[in-house]
Amino acid sequence: GAGVSQSPSNKVTEKGKDVELRCDPISGHTALYWYRQSLGQGLEFLIYFQGNSAPDKSGLPSDRFSAERTGGSVSTLTIQRTQQEDSAVYLCASNPPGDYSGNTIYFGEGSWLTVV
Amino acid sequence: GDSVTQMEGPVTLSEEAFLTINCTYTATGYPSLFWYVQYPGEGLQLLLKATKADDKGSNKGFEATYRKETTSFHLEKGSVQVSDSAVYFCALGTSGTYKYIFGTGTRLKVLA
């Protein structure tokens, strides 16, 4: 597709259940990012992929969070045993190879997660 | 570490008013600076960017100048419209790293 695609766009889940959020980046973009946007907060960096490897996972809030990327393309963010504080919009972004500092980072529309 | 600080909102203006949203940064190295905009119900999209000192980014009537001496990248528009109502995020990216650091966002509401 033309842009970064995320699914589901909205997810309501019960506390304690596991959820998977999917991101399909722009074709050819080697870098992929996950951010979290909580109500009234800025963007919190979660994890970065370069190809299929994740050089930096330091933003993942706890060991209940994990992410993988396969084929240098689609990425899945998994949250196990969800808690109410996990409720947020999870944003995926990608950018092409090259000098990252000046590259535009392209965002998907996000997956809105509500834990009840 | 690198950081971005932007003015808190919400900012409420009448149509055709002048807009300034302040953004300052701290960074090692030579960052690129960005403004992203998030319209209601949509994802973030690039509004403008500047990759070196004294560059001016501009788009849709918005402007921001990369001021190294004051470590600032303030967003301005001479005459806002109702359609500019959105959340605006200032961000930086540093050469040689992969991280983009975002501010907390400033909500703008423009009244007709």
Top pLDDT among B14 and A54 is at B14
Looking at residue A116, what is its pLDDT? Answer: 96
Q: A-contacting residues of B 84-103, CB under 8 Å?
A: 89, 93-103
Whether residue A2 has pLDDT greater than 90: no
Q: B-contacting residues of A 76-115, CB under 8 Å?
A: 91, 93, 99-110
Residue B9 amino acid letter: G
Partner A contacted by B14 (CB < 8 A) = no
* B80 Cβ neighbours under 8 A, 6+ residues apart: B13, B15, B16, B17, B18, B19, B108, B110
What does the DSSP 8-state code read for residue A72?
T
Whether residue B75 has pLDDT greater than 70: yes
Residues of B in contact with A96 (CB under 8 A): none
Looking at residue A100, what is its pLDDT? Answer: 64
Task: Work out how many CB contacts closer than 8 A connect A with B.
Answer: 63
Instruction: State mean pLDDT over B33-42.
Output: 92
What's the length of chain B? 112
Query: In whole angstroms, what is the distance from residue A91 CA to residue B77 CA?
Result: 27
Looking at residue A113, what is its pLDDT? Answer: 97
Instruction: State mean pLDDT over A2-23.
Output: 96
Q: Which two tokens stand for residue B63?
A: 């402007």
Query: In whole angstroms, what is the distance from residue A105 CA to residue B57 CA?
Result: 16
A91-115 per-position pLDDT tens digit: 999 988 776 667 788 999 999 999 9
